[in-house]
Amino acid sequence: MEKTKAIFFTILCVFVSLSSAIVDDFCVADYSFPVGPAGFPCKNPANVTVDDFVFSGLGVSGNTSNTMFNSAVTPAIDTKFAGLNGLGISMARLDIGVGGVIPLHTHRVSEVIIVIDGTIIAGFIASDNTAYFKKLNKGDMMIFPQSLLHFQVNVGEIPALAFVSLASAHPGFMFTSSSLGSNDLPTEIIEKITLLDAKQVKELKNIFGGSPN
């Protein structure tokens, strides 16, 4: 009986030590360790200050002139915003130039967008291949359910500004075109697995820095 209790207690301790968000108020990221599936290890609470819970980077427009897509995503996630580590939330600022897009992408968790300025068409593709898309104006919000491919296109006359909130401190963004074009897979394998032709694959690799072959 005592032995059973001891085992139960041990299991409970392991569970509790893995569930820091349940037993602690917060777990500010300690950047001297690598991030893992549960986030960063916690900084010693004695060294935590209010500044760990404040992030000022989203007040500044992203530079939309330096990408293929005429847009910029400025994330406030656990790698930059230590206080939200382990809490299951993050945000990002989207700046989309006239005619620009946030290209097709996915992440592990659901997202909500709110449009602050401009007019965009936002949408996602469900796992049965139904496309849900709509024109959104200032003040409109939309949900992109977890892991579904989604996008935003500026269809207005002015630069668009939107903020998104994501249900993870570390959402794991994957952009379809850049994922295809920035890896070291041989061109012939990418051709086979996508039905793109060699010229198109090489163009993507050239744009996104994948291996030349």
Residues near ligand NAG (CB under 6 A): 44, 47, 63, 65-66
Between 66 and 129, whose beta carbon lies closer to ligand NAG?
A: 66
Q: What are residue 142's DSSP bridge partners?
A: 113
Question: Taking the complex as a whole, how short is the minimal distance between the CB of residue 63 and ligand NAG, in angstroms?
Answer: 4
Between 68 and 189, whose beta carbon lies closer to ligand NAG?
A: 68
SS3 at position 213: coil
Between 47 and 56, whose beta carbon lies closer to ligand NAG?
A: 47
Between 66 and 130, whose beta carbon lies closer to ligand NAG?
A: 66
Q: What is the DSSP letter of 27?
A: -
Question: Taking the complex as a whole, how short is the minimal distance between the CB of residue 50 and ligand NAG, in angstroms?
Answer: 15
Q: How far is CA 162 from the centre of its chain?
A: 15
State how far the Cα of 143 lies from the Cα of 113, in Å rounded to an integer. 7
Question: Taking the complex as a whole, how short is the minimal distance between the CB of residue 45 and ligand NAG, in angstroms?
Answer: 9
* Backbone phi, psi, residue 99, to 5°: 80, -5
Question: Taking the complex as a whole, how short is the minimal distance between the CB of residue 179 and ligand NAG, in angstroms?
Answer: 22
Instruction: Count Cα neighbours of 102 within 13 Å in the Cβ-side half-sphere.
Output: 29
State how far the Cα of 115 lies from the Cα of 134, in Å rounded to an integer. 13
State how far the Cα of 140 lies from the Cα of 98, in Å rounded to an integer. 18
Question: Taking the complex as a whole, how short is the minimal distance between the CB of residue 180 and ligand NAG, in angstroms?
Answer: 23
Between 47 and 129, whose beta carbon lies closer to ligand NAG?
A: 47
